[in-house]
Amino acid sequence: MKQYLVIAVSSLLSALIAVTAYRYFEPSKEVVIRETVSARYTNFDQMDVSKQRNFLSSAPTNFIAASERVIPSVVNIKTIQGGGGFELWGGAAVGSASGSGVLVSADGYIVTNNHVIEDSDEIEVTLNDKREFKAELIGTDPSTDLALIKIEGEALPALEFGNSDSLRVGEWVLAIGNPFNLESTVTSGIVSAKGRSIDILEGQDRIESFIQTDAAVNPGNSGGALVNTNGELIGINTAIITRSGRYEGYSFAVPINLVRKVIRDLRDYGVVQRGILGVFIDEMTNERARELGLKAVEGVYINRVTPGSGADDAGLQKGDVIMGINGIKTKTLPEMQEQLGRYRPGNAVKVDIVRAGQEETIEVILKNKSNSTALVSGKNEDILLDLGFELRELTRQEKRRIQVEGVKVISIYRGSRIERTNMDPGFVITKVDNQPVATVEEMVDYLERTSGKVMLEGVYENYPGEYYYAFAMD
């Protein structure tokens, strides 16, 4: 045992002596540790600026400031429909509906959905602070499902408009409504898609280019605000896709850049001034893109140009592919409709096209449905709708061919007073009660001032002689 202990002690002493000797004779060294790879994005000189996406509205992920800013501007809307029916005990049958709206001016203009106030006899508005008002209907636009109403007030908390064109897929947004007098509901989500069409609106003039989000929107939130995280209004919540009747992850809003133009028209004219390009169009397909030699399956294909339209005057042709409007790309049909929906008759737009493989930009003067650059008023549409026909001015080519001045009947509504005269579409009205007319506005002005029996005189392009049709004004 003693022998093993001596060996162990000897070994330990030997090791200590060796280490001490090494440290005594070996020169000292300084060891410096350095980072051999430079840190990325430590200053602006090193940053790849081309990869930055710095949007003020996307910066915060704290939604408190935006919510506090927006909530006072979102109102509850209750509508009452008299109906005209009767209940069992003899009282009038009354229906009601509820939705949301957004204050867009300090003097009381409110934007909401058309379907929220449709067929209403009375509109009641409750602000977030519990004040109640009776609202006046200013105008509606079923083509975008928007409506403008007004309450009497001053210094009301109007919401600031943002820029829906600057939105990016993946950006945070808030959906804020005021349903069922719950004061407010705030939900958050991201932009899932832009320029989305879901085929919920009716009519040839419909514009569906929705912002799709996954922010929860339930019944009663229709007409409410979609805002960015800076608290700016960038859309009006309009619809959801659902099988259960409840929110399932798909909500849709009208972009504010389109809303701004629609409500301005409703305020100023009572009707939307729709600028029309004058082309029949199709979505781009993979096969067609390949035939045309396009680099990507995008753009809108022109398959026909309306004679006398702005497109015809500017030289657009069948086979052209529209790639952008005023410098903004229009990869799909809804995107193009949204851009054109922002302009009035008489506005000039620059249309970027591809023709025979070559890129061109052509300036087009937009016209209205009557093929005129004149703005229309609510009375135009009301009187013509009541009589049952649509009119437009003659084109230059038609005037040369027919050798007359007048307005052309482009459609007649079934069951209307005009249909009962046996008039056919294509009739060119040259005189009303022996008074010459050259524009739709002239004819509407005359009809508005007259009463009793009215005589229309005119011609058909392919039939000889003059024709006469009579009807009675109310």
The catalytic residue positions are 115, 145, 222
Q: Which residues pair with 354 in a beta bridge?
A: 321, 359
Distance CA 52, CA 434 (A): 69
- How deeply is 41 buried, as exposed, middle or buried, from its count of CB atoms within 10 A (0-12, 13-18, 19+)? exposed
Which residue is listed with tokens 């003693």? Answer: 2
Distance CA 388, CA 149 (A): 28
Report CA torsion sign: 322, 337, 376, 419: positive
Helix (H) / strand (E) element for 281: namely: strand 279-283
In angstroms, what CA-CA distances link 8 with 4, 20, 109, 185, 423?
Answer: 6, 19, 98, 81, 125
N-terminal to C-terminal alpha carbon distance within the chain: 133
| Both tokens assigned to 392 | 């437009």
| Both tokens assigned to 49 | 């600026």
Distance CA 135, CA 153 (A): 11
Distance CA 73, CA 66 (A): 12
Contact 436, 467 (CB under 8 A): no
In angstroms, what CA-CA distances link 353 with 288, 313, 356, 360?
Answer: 15, 16, 10, 5
Contact 390, 410 (CB under 8 A): yes
User: What secondary structure letter does DSSP report for 93?
Assistant: P
Distance CA 277, CA 352 (A): 13
Distance CA 254, CA 236 (A): 5
Distance CA 354, CA 249 (A): 38
Three-state DSSP at 178 gives coil
In angstroms, what CA-CA distances link 284 with 1, 202, 211, 292, 421?
Answer: 97, 23, 21, 10, 43
b/e per residue 115-130 (b: at least 16 CB within 10 A):
bbbeebeebbbbbbee
Q: What angle do CA 34, 35, 37 make, to 5 degrees?
A: 145
Count Cα neighbours of 355 within 13 Å in the Cβ-side half-sphere. Answer: 13
